[in-house]
Amino acid sequence: MTTIEERPTFLTIRETAELLRVHRRTAYRYLAEGRLPARKFGGVWLVDAAELERRLEESGDAAA
């Protein structure tokens, strides 16, 4: 059984943009380019926070 702690945490595009310190449009561009680990739920794009953090650590970059 998956516990609450093991469930993925998701960020909205707005939250992702704030985290990356980029404009919201830039975050949407990253999404379109496949640079953000995101899924669409009910018409809303949500970014997998843990996967985003992993990618940022691998790249050593502030932006995805």
**Total number of domains constituting the chain:** 1
Q: What's the length of the chain?
A: 64
**How is the chain split among helix, strand and coil, in percent rounded to 5?**
50, 20, 35
Domain extent for 34:
4-59
42 falls within a domain: yes
CATH number of the domain to which 48 belongs:
1.10.10
64 falls within a domain: no
pLDDT, tens only, 31-58: 999 999 999 999 999 999 999 999 989 9
46 falls within a domain: yes
Give the Å distances, CA to CA, from 57 to 2, 53, 54: 25, 6, 5
pLDDT, tens only, 5-33: 666 699 999 999 999 999 999 999 999 99
**pTM value > 0.95:** no
Find the helix or strand (DSSP H, E) in which 45 lies: strand 44-48
16 falls within a domain: yes
